[in-house]
Chains A and B, each alone.
Chain A
Amino acid sequence: MAERRIRILLSKPGLDGHDRGAKVLARCFRDAGFEVIYTGCHQTPEQIAAAAIQEDVDVVGLSCLSGAHKYLFPQVVKLLKAEGADDITVIGGGIIPEQDMQPLYDAGLKALFTPGAKLDSLVEWINTNVTPRA
């Protein structure tokens, strides 16, 4: 009877309205059997962290195509940590240059996906690396 279902918050931080990718992912995660909370565009890191906590998600997926990922992604990680919610896995995607990858991983991002990433590979990554919290 008891069954943990993966909950994931999908959000687009910052000034970026290119949400096609995020919407495709929302649909893909839905079809993978996850519960997806989609907040849409133009979110501040504060809004995203607050929503993640209110929704008790396992994963926060951030999509950013504007180039501001180096500030916005780590900021979400930091705010979650400040709320004692650093057990929430934060992953990101978008136009992320190679040289930005390591600093983002160092900042606490658990995975990064760039154009060309297969939808299946994202689902698989989550199924492999995320256990819904007990």
Chain B
Amino acid sequence: MKELGQKVLAGDVRSASRLIRNLEDQIPGTHVAMQEIFTKTGNAHVIGITGAPGAGKSTLTDELVFSWRQRNKTVGVLAVDPTSPFTGGALLGDRIRMLRHAEDKGVFLRSLATRGSMGGISKAVGEGIHVMDAMGKDTIIVETVGVGQQEVEIINHAHTVIVVLVPGMGDEIQALKAGLMEIADIFIINKADRDGAASLYKEVTNMVHMSVTKGGWEIPVLLVESVQEPKKFAESVSAVCDKIEDHYRYLVDKNLLSERLRRKTAAEFNEALWAAILQPVLNDLDAGGEMEKMVDQLLKKETDPYTLAAEVAVRYKNKV
């Protein structure tokens, strides 16, 4: 496992993809490679792209990758699609929109299934970002699953969040609702040639003007033309790319870049603590069959979970 971290730092794609797989599959010992890379991360600009299914996230991502390659930036993409709640299988189809980058060594595209996570990304995304960062990718794009109003987990992982909207999804009240509509640093109105784009633009712009601007960033609302008009599409996505770079500079200037990830960092630490402290206790209780006995006691109402937990805490106090 030690070797894997070194190879990732050297930019090896196969090792990086393998490490991400180990994270997804929760293979024991994966933290060894993560230990090696963690302090080397923090150099990439992480961008989240989210929106409803079919809003055009993958097609936009493809063109954004192209724009950054034109600007000589290397790019990592983590594209998330849903896992079946019935079979555990998944059909990961984001790659179809991004085929032209397959052979470009400056682009690493990895598809992930949600594996039961409900926040619009998979559990492995957070660490997957570290892996791509450690490989030296300048820009990392996380494309979420097609989301509804509430799947906003991406805010904990991205420096810049882009919410992609399309015309015809509801009236202005939708624009005022909490959740998805609150998390954008940049709004994109995609498929802007469609009916309703102008009124959607107005609604979202009005909504944005009502919001309190934090630290001076005014949330832009950008129209992106249909991909059927390749030239207009490319120009409008290039403008999105400019705005994303503006946002990055804003975060750097205001010293907000790392602050954005405070919640993620705390959550990661929380999880590491859990793995280091609680997991060994649970394993020990399981191995001795004691866990089952305690559950039996609780089922018979002989004691309560709080008392039992306190007893366990005392017993293991100096052991982990």
**Chain A interface (Cβ within 8 Å of chain B)?**
1-5, 7, 26-27, 29-40, 43, 46-47, 50-51, 53-56, 83-85
CA distance A52 to B18 in the complex (A): 12
Q: Do A36 and B92 touch (CB < 8 A)?
A: yes
Contact of A39 among B17, B21, B90, B99 (CB under 8 A): B99
Contact of B111 among A4, A55, A83 (CB under 8 A): A55
CA distance A42 to B222 in the complex (A): 33
Closest to B279 in A: A1
- Answer whether A53 and B13 are a contact pair too, CB < 8 Å, given A3-B26, A30-B89, A47-B102: yes
- Answer whether A33 and B17 are a contact pair too, CB < 8 Å, given A47-B102, A51-B102: no
Residues in chain A near residue B18, CB distance under 8 A: 56
Closest to A37 in B: B92
**Chain B interface (Cβ within 8 Å of chain A)?**
13-14, 17-18, 20-21, 24-28, 83-84, 87-93, 95-96, 99, 102-103, 108-111, 113
Q: Do A38 and B17 touch (CB < 8 A)?
A: no
> How many A-B Cβ pairs are below 8 Å?
88
Q: Do A36 and B103 touch (CB < 8 A)?
A: no
Residues in chain A near residue B88, CB distance under 8 A: 5, 33
Q: What are 19 residue pairs bridging A and B, where the CB atoms are less than 8 Å apart in the complex?
A: A1-B26, A3-B25, A4-B27, A27-B91, A30-B90, A31-B84, A33-B87, A35-B83, A36-B89, A36-B90, A36-B92, A38-B91, A40-B96, A46-B102, A51-B102, A53-B17, A54-B109, A55-B111, A56-B110
- Answer whether A56 and B17 are a contact pair too, CB < 8 Å, given A3-B26, A35-B89: yes
In terms of DSSP, what is the predominant structure of the interface of chain A? mixed
CA distance A50 to B95 in the complex (A): 12
Residues in chain B near residue A53, CB distance under 8 A: 13-14, 17
Residues in chain B near residue A29, CB distance under 8 A: 89
Contact of A51 among B26, B27, B95 (CB under 8 A): B95
CA distance A56 to B99 in the complex (A): 17
Closest to B88 in A: A33
Chain B: minimal CB distance from A33 (Å): 4
Q: Do A35 and B13 touch (CB < 8 A)?
A: no
Contact of A38 among B83, B87, B89, B93 (CB under 8 A): B93
Chain B: minimal CB distance from A21 (Å): 15
Residues in chain A near residue B99, CB distance under 8 A: 39-40, 43, 47
Q: Do A35 and B92 touch (CB < 8 A)?
A: yes
